[in-house]
């Protein structure tokens, strides 16, 4: 134990990228979990997975265009797709789940095709794996990327706190909220934009294929023990931050992929909370 703590202290004191990874990881986990409860309750969990595939395709296009900061392309494209899915999913012959499946699978295939056609390195499989599973991107963040992550995380948190009551009403009964004067469609649109921002941020931490786990697992875990919306949200945030920090620390010590390690810690947390929930019900 003492040796492990000594190694961690050495890494944090010596390497800037480790400190950057921890700061960015905690911020991303915090804002990812804020809307996780809303997504689960509204049965929108699959949107995170679909938009992550869109972000992967946009990342491949940005790499082919030699953009130094791919978020300048990835973020607008992901937001646009989130808005289009929300606005057209229920008003066309192709319903929301089918249109999401078409867009996500199409973006994933096109992204992989572009990465093959415009490969920047000889080890294409490593590039694809890093983008899909986030194995290295969180450890190569620049100070600018960390500040951008901090700014977007602060923006997501501020939006959630500012519109907390509206989000609460839209989450549980959208029709009733609209009947009482709440602009439900506008707040759903706001949710879509914020979700897109979260997806782009989370890709740096866990990769395109594991984003949904970062959003959903903390919310599902908190729901096993707590019942009110506020308590579930607070517990979800705390658990997400703790799991992200533990996952990063374990990956540093064990040399495991960061994204997969964080998801494994979240799964462990879910099992613990599920057991705790059963014990509380029996007592």
Q: What is the CATH classification number for the domain harbouring 175?
A: 1.10.3470.10
pLDDT digits 0-9 by tens, 12-69? 787 777 788 888 888 888 888 888 888 888 777 667 777 877 887 887 787 777 776 6
The DSSP result for 143-187, as a single string, is HHHHHHHHHHHHHHHHHHHHTHHHHHHHHH-HHHHHHTT--HHHH
Q: What is the pLDDT of residue 275?
A: 92
First-residue to last-residue Cα distance in the chain: 36
Say yes or no to pLDDT of 135 above 60.
Answer: no
Say yes or no to pLDDT of 235 above 90.
Answer: yes
Between 210 and 183, the more confident residue is 183
Domain membership of residue 280 (yes or no) is no
Domain membership of residue 200 (yes or no) is yes
Q: What is the pLDDT of residue 106?
A: 81
In this prediction, residue 148 has a pLDDT band, given cuts at 50, 70 and 90, of: confident
Domain membership of residue 153 (yes or no) is yes
Q: What is the pLDDT of residue 108?
A: 75
* Rounded CA separation 34/20 (Å): 22
pLDDT digits 0-9 by tens, 76-124? 888 888 887 766 555 544 455 666 777 777 877 887 787 777 766 555 5
Q: What is the pLDDT of residue 133?
A: 55
| Average pLDDT of span 126-136 | 56
| Average pLDDT of span 208-229 | 84
Helices (H), the chain: 2-14, 16-34, 36-41, 45-64, 71-88, 96-117, 124-133, 143-162, 164-172, 174-179, 184-206, 211-223, 229-254, 258-282
| Angle between helical axes of 258-282 and 229-254 (0-180°, round to 10) | 140
Domain coverage including residue 54: 2-9+17-275
Domain membership of residue 236 (yes or no) is yes
Residue 226 is given by DSSP the state -
In this prediction, residue 199 has a pLDDT band, given cuts at 50, 70 and 90, of: confident
Q: What is the pLDDT of residue 243?
A: 92
| Average pLDDT of span 119-132 | 56
Of the candidates 63, 277, 236, 25, which has an alpha carbon nearest to the alpha carbon of residue 145?
Answer: 25
* Rounded CA separation 184/166 (Å): 8
| Angle between helical axes of 229-254 and 2-14 (0-180°, round to 10) | 90
Domain membership of residue 127 (yes or no) is yes
Count up the domains in the chain and report the number: 1
Q: Which two tokens stand for residue 213?
A: 């786990």
pTM of the model as a whole: 0.81
Place of tokens 């056609």: 117
Contact 209, 133 (CB under 8 A): yes
Contact 248, 258 (CB under 8 A): yes
Domain membership of residue 128 (yes or no) is yes
Domain membership of residue 282 (yes or no) is no
Domain membership of residue 283 (yes or no) is no
């Amino acid at each position: 134990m003492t040796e492990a703590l000594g190694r961690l202290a050495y890494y944090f004191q010596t390497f800037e990228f480790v400190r950057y990874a921890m700061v960015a990881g905690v911020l991303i986990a915090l804002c990812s979990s804020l809307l996780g409860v809303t997504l689960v309750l509204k049965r929108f969990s699959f949107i995170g997975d679909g938009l992550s595939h869109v972000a992967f395709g946009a990342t491949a296009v940005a790499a082919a265009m030699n953009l130094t900061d791919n978020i300048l392309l990835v973020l607008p494209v992901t937001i646009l797709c989130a808005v289009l899915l929300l606005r057209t999913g229920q008003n066309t012959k192709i319903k929301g789940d089918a249109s999401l499946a078409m867009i996500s699978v199409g973006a994933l295939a096109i992204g992989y095709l572009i990465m093959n056609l415009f490969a920047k390195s000889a080890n294409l499989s490593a590039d694809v794996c890093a983008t899909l599973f986030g194995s290295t991107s969180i450890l190569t963040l620049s100070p600018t990327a960390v500040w951008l992550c901090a700014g977007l995380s602060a923006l997501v948190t501020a939006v959630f706190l500012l519109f907390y009551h509206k989000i609460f009403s839209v989450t549980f009964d959208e029709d009733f909220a609209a009947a009482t004067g709440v602009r439900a469609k506008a707040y759903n649109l706001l949710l879509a934009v914020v979700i897109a921002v979260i997806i782009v941020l989370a890709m740096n931490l866990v990769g395109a294929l594991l984003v949904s786990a970062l959003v959903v697992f903390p919310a599902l875990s908190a729901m096993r023990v707590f019942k009110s919306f506020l308590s579930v949200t607070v517990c979800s945030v705390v658990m997400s931050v703790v799991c992200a920090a533990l996952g990063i620390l374990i990956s540093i010590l064990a040399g495991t992929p960061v994204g997969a390690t964080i998801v494994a810690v979240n799964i462990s947390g879910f099992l613990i909370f599920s057991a705790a929930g059963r014990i509380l019900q029996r007592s």
